[in-house]
Chain A
């Protein structure tokens, strides 16, 4: 069954991918393909845009309209594409460094505009492509090649950032909870507005090794142990989950979508003509 999913949605001649053994990105990429497949989207109308980094290699493997842009700028390119042709289902694949460091401004403003783009953030807490430097989601006190004495930065909660900036769909899934992640991505694509999915991944090669996290399986198990679904948490007293990472759907609201609002301006003049 899965091979059909792969052959229907991937460029078979471009596989295998370049990611390291044990990398969580493959699970997230497959979850995205599965969500697109489940929604039966017209493949020629799907446009997948990425920036630079490990995550951003994903579009090259996926059999849609695909664009691999410059570091941090995927959302800005995607904004141009979506505004120029609102019929396209524009999906951005980005990483924690790409999206929240060099591209942080574009995340804020794409959220603010509520433009109909779905962003899947492959969050592995590290710059993997360049060999393990700390990123804006690297936990405090963790190690990276540029944090040899422990990270003194505090990490971003990108879901809260997107929520505050105006994104209308915000959720967090993980490479461990793959079935939930597929559902989340489906809903994020269905949202008529800007969606952010913080997809927690694992990087055993750099983050794992630097921080003595063990194997990929150990790291995925750690995701299981350190997360709690927001629906479960809501029924518990705070001290039962305050140290855990919340996952699930945080926000699903309706607000005017940017390109639809722009079309209204165009239509106003159509009538006058």
Chain B
């Protein structure tokens, strides 16, 4: 069973690398930082075995820059970091968003701000994932709750980044990143892979940012493919060259935003459980979801009518679904390892704000099932 590697004990961070490799990652550039370091270490070990490239850069900023460079040269690229490193990467994340360069940025969240508690879990970068870099920009952020989900969502992150041509965040946390658990790795044939669309071969007329009919992202050539195109972080026209034109700038920014805004249903993933007759739904993501599920099961055993909701996609948020939960179920309790970041998003979405409750913890420890159970009893 373990011999043929179908079922294994695996760490979350390792599952991230395995998922990335299964998705076709062939380039990794990064800088060591706790608690994401295992991702770099395992990439260093495994990428050359499949002909891929790993490089430890001189700093976090360079790690992000080289990751974008690797993608522009045609390889599926990833970097991983934690809190302070995620802050440092933000400028180049914006560059990837505007230049529509696919890549995956893993943030194994730790307690902050600043150096904080480097080895302690937190979920305090949820809003940073959305607003971290300057200017409006499209954002997709996924948050796995288990080792298997880390594997699956890393693949999904690559697929979404290739499909929509943007940097996709995998928002892990120290709990899921560092825990080891049983995982059944799916067969290769069962894994769906999406590769960026390339321009047609004979394309002397290639415009790097032109949208073909019935398509919604520009086709992407790699440097060296034979198309001599230009990529810039300045506002640009469909040829890829800089412009000061207000109309073209407006059109470009609205177009890159629409890639996510117009495809929310394709992007958003969530799961719900125990929803029949529920009067309260506990909403939790990442490592905290594990505690929530344990608590909700116990609450059900004790006779409380409690449901459980897990947003796997944090950004874009499942607006419609959360509105629906509020209208059908009523009360929503958000449990998270910060002082109410996702709660504020839920608050934005629902109309009946009085039906919202939060359980926030910033001690540097996981929220326990008992803490959630106590809160459930308080609310119901």
User: Do A and B associate with each other?
Assistant: yes
A213: interface (CB < 8 Å): no
Which residue of chain B has the shortest Cβ distance to A113 in the bound complex? B55
- Tell me which residues across on chain A come within 8 A of B230, comparing CB atoms: 59-60, 66-68
Q: Which of A14, A44, A85, A105 contacts B74 (CB 8 A)?
A: A85
Residue interface mask B17-35, A partner, CB < 8 A = 1 = 0000000001101000000
Say whether B57 contacts A70, CB under 8 Å: no
Say whether A266 contacts B65, CB under 8 Å: no
- Tell me which residues across on chain B come within 8 A of A69, comparing CB atoms: 65, 95, 233
Report the bound CA distance from A231 to B67 in whole Å.
42
Say whether B27 contacts A44, CB under 8 Å: no
Say whether B95 contacts A70, CB under 8 Å: yes
B129: interface (CB < 8 Å): no
- Tell me which residues across on chain B come within 8 A of A67, comparing CB atoms: 69, 72, 223, 230-232
Count CB-based A-B contacts (< 8 Å): 137
Which residue of chain B has the shortest Cβ distance to A106 in the bound complex? B62
Say whether B65 contacts A83, CB under 8 Å: no
Say whether B48 contacts A265, CB under 8 Å: yes
B113: interface (CB < 8 Å): no
- How far in angstroms is the closest Cβ of chain B from A18? 10
Question: Given A69-B95, A83-B55, A85-B73, do A76 and B66 touch, yes or no (CB 8 Å)?
Answer: yes
B49: interface (CB < 8 Å): yes
Say whether B65 contacts A70, CB under 8 Å: yes
B11: interface (CB < 8 Å): no
Say whether B62 contacts A84, CB under 8 Å: no
Say whether B27 contacts A68, CB under 8 Å: no
Say whether A60 contacts B68, CB under 8 Å: no
Say whether B58 contacts A84, CB under 8 Å: no
Residue interface mask A230-265, B partner, CB < 8 A = 1 = 000000000000000000000000000000001001
B105: interface (CB < 8 Å): no
Question: Which secondary structure dominates chain A's binding surface?
Answer: helix
- Tell me which residues across on chain B come within 8 A of A64, comparing CB atoms: 228
Among residues 218 to 248 in chain B, which have CB atoms less than 8 Å away from a CB atom of chain A?
222-234, 241-242
Report the bound CA distance from A106 to B62 in whole Å.
7
A27: interface (CB < 8 Å): no
Say whether B74 contacts A77, CB under 8 Å: no
B298: interface (CB < 8 Å): no
Report the bound CA distance from A240 to B324 in whole Å.
84
- How far in angstroms is the closest Cβ of chain A from B4? 18
Q: How many residues of B contact A (CB 8 A)?
A: 44
- Tell me which residues across on chain B come within 8 A of A63, comparing CB atoms: 228
Say whether A76 contacts B62, CB under 8 Å: yes
Say whether B59 contacts A105, CB under 8 Å: yes
A157: interface (CB < 8 Å): no
Report the bound CA distance from A67 to B72 in whole Å.
9
Say whether B223 contacts A109, CB under 8 Å: no
Question: Given A43-B228, A60-B241, A65-B229, do A81 and B69 touch, yes or no (CB 8 Å)?
Answer: yes
Say whether A88 contacts B224, CB under 8 Å: yes
Residue interface mask B309-336, A partner, CB < 8 A = 1 = 0000000000000000000000000000
Report the bound CA distance from A45 to B227 in whole Å.
10
Question: Given A68-B233, A80-B27, A80-B73, do A85 and B66 touch, yes or no (CB 8 Å)?
Answer: no
Q: Which of A73, A82, A83, A269 contacts B62 (CB 8 A)?
A: A73
- Tell me which residues across on chain A come within 8 A of B67, comparing CB atoms: 80
Among residues 318 to 377 in chain B, which have CB atoms less than 8 Å away from a CB atom of chain A?
none
Residue interface mask A201-242, B partner, CB < 8 A = 1 = 000000000000000000000000000000000000000000
Say whether B231 contacts A269, CB under 8 Å: no
Say whether A79 contacts B228, CB under 8 Å: no
Binding site for B on A (CB under 8 A): 14, 43-45, 47, 49, 59-60, 63-70, 73, 76-85, 87-88, 105-106, 108-109, 262, 265-266, 268-270
List 6 contacting pairs A-B, 8 Å CB cutoff, sorted by A: A43-B228, A60-B232, A60-B241, A60-B242, A65-B229, A68-B242
Cβ-closest 9 pairs across A and B: A80-B69, A80-B66, A76-B65, A84-B73, A76-B62, A68-B232, A109-B58, A65-B223, A84-B70
Binding site for A on B (CB under 8 A): 26-27, 29, 48-49, 51, 53, 55, 57-59, 61-63, 65-75, 77, 91-92, 95, 222-234, 241-242
Contacts beyond the supplied A67-B232, A80-B69: 13 A-B pairs with Cβ under 8 Å: A44-B228, A59-B230, A77-B65, A77-B66, A77-B68, A78-B69, A79-B57, A80-B27, A84-B70, A84-B73, A87-B224, A109-B62, A265-B48
